Amino acid sequence: MPDSGLETDSEVNPISASKPVLANGDEQTLCPVNQKLIDFLIAEINRKITTSQKVVSAVATRLAIEVTRICRKSSRIQASGEVATWQRQLAQNRVKKYLDYYLLGSRQGRIELHSRLSAIAYRYIAPTRTQLGFQGRCTLLEDFLQGFYIEVLKAFRRENHLGDRYSPRTRLELAEYMAFGEHYAKRRISLPGCYNQQLLVLRAQAFARRLPTETSVDIERAVDSPKGDEDGFLRSPVIQQIRAKMVSDVTDPSAAVLRDRILKELVQYFEEQDQRACIDYLALRLQDMAPSEIDEVLGLTARQRDYLQQRFKYHVERFAQSHRWQLVHQWLSADLDKNFGLSPAEWRTFVEQLSDEQSLLLALKQQQLREGEHSLSEQAIAQALSWTPKQVARRWTNLVSLAWKIRNQRSKSGKE
């Protein structure tokens, strides 16, 4: 864990002291947080400790956003008619955890967190059928948890929309972070067969499966650079670009709104296509789980894995390049008004490759974009080209795919 070396709240990080005012749930529907809840949490913290009010306000606001999000997502809480009561109860439980770590202090708090996480991961940390004594397991635990703490810090920044250089600086911020780390480790991940497991256990099992060829682990790198049969699938330009955006730390609220709108519509698209397995696969990928770990969770054979990955790739590319191409390209900052994200030279290359009919289609689409709500309809474009609407859609998809390929050539050349 990051060692701030601080035991007081005399220093305030300007990022952490900033006060968010909106709750951002998984759907990213902007929803104001009840100021009364924030005031209640500030009072609860102040009742137990005396510290910087800027830090207290920032911590209380982040917690209010979190419990608001939890209550909005829970159909049981929403149906109870007692949402405010649930919010207070959840918030009080979390504040108690903050204060427990606060009273322990920086050093003892880290020791306590390390002990709790070690107790959970201990039995899962060694490969199956490996005979390891206590000291050997402890050595593996140290390697594993160092990587897991990096993951926790990144998750804390991401979920609280903090900068990528944020680290807890004050005693209360450190207590908040340690409580988050414990809560994050214990999150339940739904698995097939009405079964669920703690996130830390899944991470420990994945770590153990990579032994003994790996004696230490960087979970983030393992996710970003998978080895094995999945490489061809992950090199797909569409999958690379979309996945990079899906798991990135979103700090721009508008980008966050687009991201979650796309996630929602992608899941809806999978449901319409009767692709429930693709939804499960997507959910696990968004947990930053390695492909090999996903195979284990879903209980896939090599053949089943290859088949699922091909289906997933096909449907994501179809969704991105035809079904909701405008939304996806807007999110990637590669929509039509930005020349599909192509540089001037790439745009010239793109235009030069178009047939006369494709050039006319592009011109009509650009006119449609410029004129807004009074623009040409899809039917009018079809009539102008003497095509059917389905032909317009199919040929526009081909044109979008061509732009995507040209843009991807830049990525490939940059890696060589």
DSSP states of 167-233:
---SHHHHHHHHHHHHHHHT-EEEETTTEEEEHHHHHHHHHHHTTTT-SS--HHHHHHS--STTHHH
Rounded Cα gap, residues 322 and 395, in angstroms: 10
What is the average pLDDT across 354-368?
A: 87
Confidence (pLDDT) at 368: 79
Q: Where are the domains of the chain?
A: 228-333, 335-415
pLDDT band (50, 70, 90) for residue 56: very high
What is the average pLDDT across 370-375?
A: 67
What is the average pLDDT across 332-353?
A: 76
pLDDT band (50, 70, 90) for residue 32: low
Q: Hey, which residues does 196 pair with through a beta bridge?
A: 190
Task: Select the highest-mean-pLDDT range: 126-135, 171-180, 189-198, 326-335.
Answer: 171-180
Confidence (pLDDT) at 99: 94
| Of 338 and 160, the one with more pLDDT | 160
Structure tokens at 404: 């995507």
Confidence (pLDDT) at 141: 85
Confidence (pLDDT) at 12: 35
Residue 367 has pLDDT above 90, yes or no: no
Confidence (pLDDT) at 27: 34
Write the CB contacts of 326 (distance below 8 Å, at least 6 apart in sequence). 335, 336
Q: Is 173 in contact with 59 (CB distance < 8 Å)? A: yes
pLDDT band (50, 70, 90) for residue 149: very high
Confidence (pLDDT) at 366: 82
Confidence (pLDDT) at 257: 60
Rounded Cα gap, residues 95 and 294, in angstroms: 34
Per residue in 289-323, pLDDT tens? Answer: 666 767 777 778 878 878 888 888 788 777 766 65
Neighbour-count burial of 123, counting CB atoms closer than 10 A to its CB (0-12 exposed, 13-18 middle, 19+ buried):
exposed
Per residue in 20-30, pLDDT tens? Answer: 344 444 333 44
| 156, 162, 171, 199, 262 from 55: Cα distances, Å | 16, 14, 10, 29, 34
Using omega within 30 degrees of 0 as the cis cutoff, is the peptide bond preceding 253 cis?
no
Per residue in 221-279, pLDDT tens? Answer: 333 334 444 444 445 555 555 555 544 434 444 455 656 677 777 888 888 888 888 88
Q: Hey, which residues does 189 pair with through a beta bridge?
A: 197
Structure tokens at 378: 């899809």
* Through-space distance between the first and last CA atoms of the chain, rounded to whole angstroms: 36
